[in-house]
Structure 1
Amino acid sequence: MESTPMPVERIEVGSSGNDGTGDPLRTAFAKVNRNFEWLASALTARIASLPIFAHVRHEHDDYVPRHVADGPPKEPPTRYGAMWIDAGRGRIYLATGTASVADWRELRLVEP
């Protein structure tokens, strides 16, 4: 699965609070959802291309289960490659197995 480069959609916040020049809430959160969907897809495609993950390919290659919560994972992943987003702490976890909570691995993103 190859992801197409997509620019991150910028949320317009306006000139000052509640001045009516920024994106409406619905538009802003639609952009947030599209940004996360693209990020999840791009990360999964990149990680799945690594030789170490060759054994985790399955019939649902194009499906990335995503969980968004206000805390780290507390239950085992349901599928290899699933993503858990800890919105409260701004952390992302990737499922590398399905046996236990320990199969969630926190991703550490570094700037080039």
Structure 2
Amino acid sequence: MERRQFARITVNIPATLSFYQVEACHSGLVADISEGGCFFPFDDDVPVGTKCQITITAGAGLEREQLTTAGEVVRCAANGLGIRFLENLLEKNGRLAALLAVYRLAR
């Protein structure tokens, strides 16, 4: 049974993930994203409930924009982390809505 509130979109969007307790940043590509969270490929185990910050780089050239939000690890798998956004990015920044619309149209 699908428990997701928002539909996921498969993407490869540059992002940086950092954890509040550790002073380190991890760069990678978000593998999927929705209005409620994202999946970030990651090799290490991270406890569920760990608070983090994720910065997603949307667009290119002059249209490039960075979206930063607080998150929480809700799933740790062998291939990455499921992260729930703790802020509503659609309200915080309409750019995520536009980004998701572009990816939906491209599918």
Give the structure-2-normalised TM-score.
0.26
Bigger radius of gyration, 1 or 2? 1
Point out the structure with the larger strand share: 2
Give the structure-1-normalised TM-score.
0.25
Structure with greater contact order relative to length (CA < 8 Å, sep ≥ 6): 2
